[in-house]
């Protein structure tokens, strides 16, 4: 049974339609930023879980986004979450930055480990996935 494609039942669609990726991603970023600035996200564990759940939700809702784009956007949300209090005169908290980064890494780490395992097993596409689009 090696090499058998996995099919989904029902309509075959997983996640959101691609047309909704940008507005939903922007809304998720705003919600994450608002929650990270609220008093609910003051404890270390709460911030870790907030950014873990936000990053995991982004991967679940937008399955066709390149795996590196979600942590890149999450890094910008982390940056904004730490710079926003600076406007009010507060200093950047290394503990909050660490919690945010740990939450994002907890969600993205397994995806990169899975890809590393695929590469080690020889699952490498020469020229990349979109090479056929350039020739056509």
Q: Strand, helix or coil at 95?
A: helix
Check residue 38 and give its pLDDT: 92
Tens of pLDDT, residue by residue, the chain (136 residues): 466 565 655 555 677 888 888 999 999 999 999 999 999 999 999 999 999 999 999 999 998 888 899 999 999 999 999 999 999 888 999 999 999 999 999 999 999 999 899 999 988 877 666 655 555 5
For residue 66, what are its two tokens?
Answer: 């390149």
- What is the chain's length? 136
Q: What is the pLDDT at residue 123?
A: 86
Domain range annotation of the chain: 19-123
What one-character DSSP code corresponds to residue 39? G
The distance of Cα 134 from the centroid of its chain, to the nearest Å, equals 28
Per-residue model confidence (pLDDT) at position 67 = 86
Contact 47, 96 (CB under 8 A): yes
């Amino acid at each position: 049974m090696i090499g058998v494609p996995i099919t989904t039942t029902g309509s075959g669609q997983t996640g959101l339609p691609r047309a909704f990726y940008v507005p939903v991603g922007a809304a998720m970023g705003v919600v994450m930023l608002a929650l990270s600035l609220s008093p609910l996200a003051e404890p270390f564990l709460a911030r870790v879980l907030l950014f873990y759940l936000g990053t995991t939700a982004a991967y679940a809702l937008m399955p066709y986004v390149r795996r590196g784009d979600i942590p890149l956007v999450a890094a910008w949300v982390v940056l904004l979450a730490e710079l926003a209090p600076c406007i009010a005169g507060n200093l950047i908290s290394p503990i909050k930055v660490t919690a945010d980064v740990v939450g994002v890494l907890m969600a993205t780490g397994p995806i990169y480990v899975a890809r590393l395992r695929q590469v080690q097993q020889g699952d490498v596409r020469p020229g990349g996935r979109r090479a056929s689009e350039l020739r056509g």
